[in-house]
Amino acid sequence: MKRIPEPEELMDEADQALAYAQADFSASNELFIQLFEQLYAGEFTGLALDLGCGPADIPVRFAWRYPQASIDALDGAQAMLDLARQAIENNGLEQRISLHCQYLPAPRLEKKYDALLSNSLLHHLNDPQDLWQTIRNSAKPDATVLVMDLLRPESPQAVDALIAEYAGDAPEVLRRDFEASLYAAYTLDEIRGQLAVASLQGLTVSQISDRHLAVQGRLV
Ligand SMILES: C[S@@+](CC[C@H](N)C(=O)[O-])C[C@H]1O[C@@H](n2cnc3c(N)ncnc32)[C@H](O)[C@@H]1O
């Protein structure tokens, strides 16, 4: 099935950001943390960067799971960052999670990171190199990379089946977001091609659920 890009890359409408922040993504966000645990043996104590952090549910979960970690969380949408700030304050994590309003492609970021994280950003990007080059340029040697996203289904019927299964009762705005995201998602082969262009072939790309994929590994 042909890819249809998202109508807008950023989620900068207050209503859309709020509907997204109020939706229950706990299962997939917890899966993200479990994948990181499998990838990074031991206690992570370094500096992580979360790209396209949205309302910061993943940085908050990561901070609770790894109490010695610090996280820089970046998003281009101020509406999302306003919600992220609330979540961080509600969890008392202001000292460990810092927010950055930054649209990708970014000029080179100042810091280098021990872990590069991203969930559900890739399918928003019309130029996926905006993500992969940021990861390559911002990683310390031996950094851990975990990128999770939706996988584009093979047919419109498969899209409809996923919407019925996972968003049947969701508000209309979220059902439309989910549908647009599934059409905009990349395939495993497309991502392998993107990684080759970015010289990130060391990362592995795999399907991890009926609708998710992960790109993961350590950089050499
Ligand atoms: C689907 S949300 C995912 C949010 C979060 N990672 C999560 O898992 O809940 C995608 C986020 O990426 C942000 N985004 C999209 N394109 C971007 C870009 N070019 N630069 C920075 N952020 C972007 C959007 O504003 C939105 O907050």
Which tens digits make up the pLDDT trace of 68-86? Answer: 999 999 999 999 999 999 9
Q: Which amino acid residue places its CA nearest to atom 4 of ligand 1? A: 54
Structure confidence at residue 142 as a pLDDT band (50, 70, 90): very high
What's the confidence (pLDDT) of residue 14? 86
Mean pLDDT, to the nearest integer, of 177-199?
A: 97
Is 217 a pocket residue for ligand 1 (Cβ < 6 Å)? no
Domain extents in the chain: 14-218
CA of 161 to the centre of ligand 1 (A): 25
CA-closest candidate to residue 181, choices 131, 98, 105, 125: 125
Instruction: Give the integer Cα–Cα distance in Å for 77 and 79.
Output: 5
**What pTM was estimated for this model as a whole?**
0.96
| Mutate-to-test residue for ligand 1 from 10, 51, 62, highest number of ligand atoms within 8 A of CB | 10
Instruction: Give the integer Cα–Cα distance in Å for 82 and 16.
Output: 13
Q: Which atom of ligand 1 is nearest to the CA of 181?
A: 1
CA of 78 to the centre of ligand 1 (A): 11
Is 99 a pocket residue for ligand 1 (Cβ < 6 Å)? no
The count of other CB atoms within 10 Å of the CB of residue 207 is 12
CA of 104 to the centre of ligand 1 (A): 10
Q: Which residues have CB under 8 Å from 150's CB, separation 6+?
A: 120, 123, 181, 182, 185, 211, 212, 213
DSSP string over 32-77? HHHHHHHHS-S---SEEEEET-TT-HHHHHHHHHSTT-EEEEEES-
DSSP string over 126-170? SSTHHHHHHHHHHEEEEEEEEEEEEB--SSHHHHHHHHHHHHTTS
Is 121 a pocket residue for ligand 1 (Cβ < 6 Å)? yes
Is 149 a pocket residue for ligand 1 (Cβ < 6 Å)? no
Q: Which atom of ligand 1 is nearest to the CA of 11?
A: 25
Residue 206: exposed, middle, or buried by beta-carbon count in 10 A (0-12, 13-18, 19+)?
exposed
pLDDT of residue 28 exceeding 90: yes
Instruction: Give the integer Cα–Cα distance in Å for 53 and 49.
Output: 9
E strand or H helix that includes residue 173: helix 172-184
- Under CATH, which number does the domain 14-218 receive? 3.40.50.150
CA of 25 to the centre of ligand 1 (A): 14
Is 52 a pocket residue for ligand 1 (Cβ < 6 Å)? yes
CA of 164 to the centre of ligand 1 (A): 24
pLDDT of residue 34 exceeding 90: yes
Least confident piece of the model among 23-27, 119-123, 124-128, 156-160 = 23-27
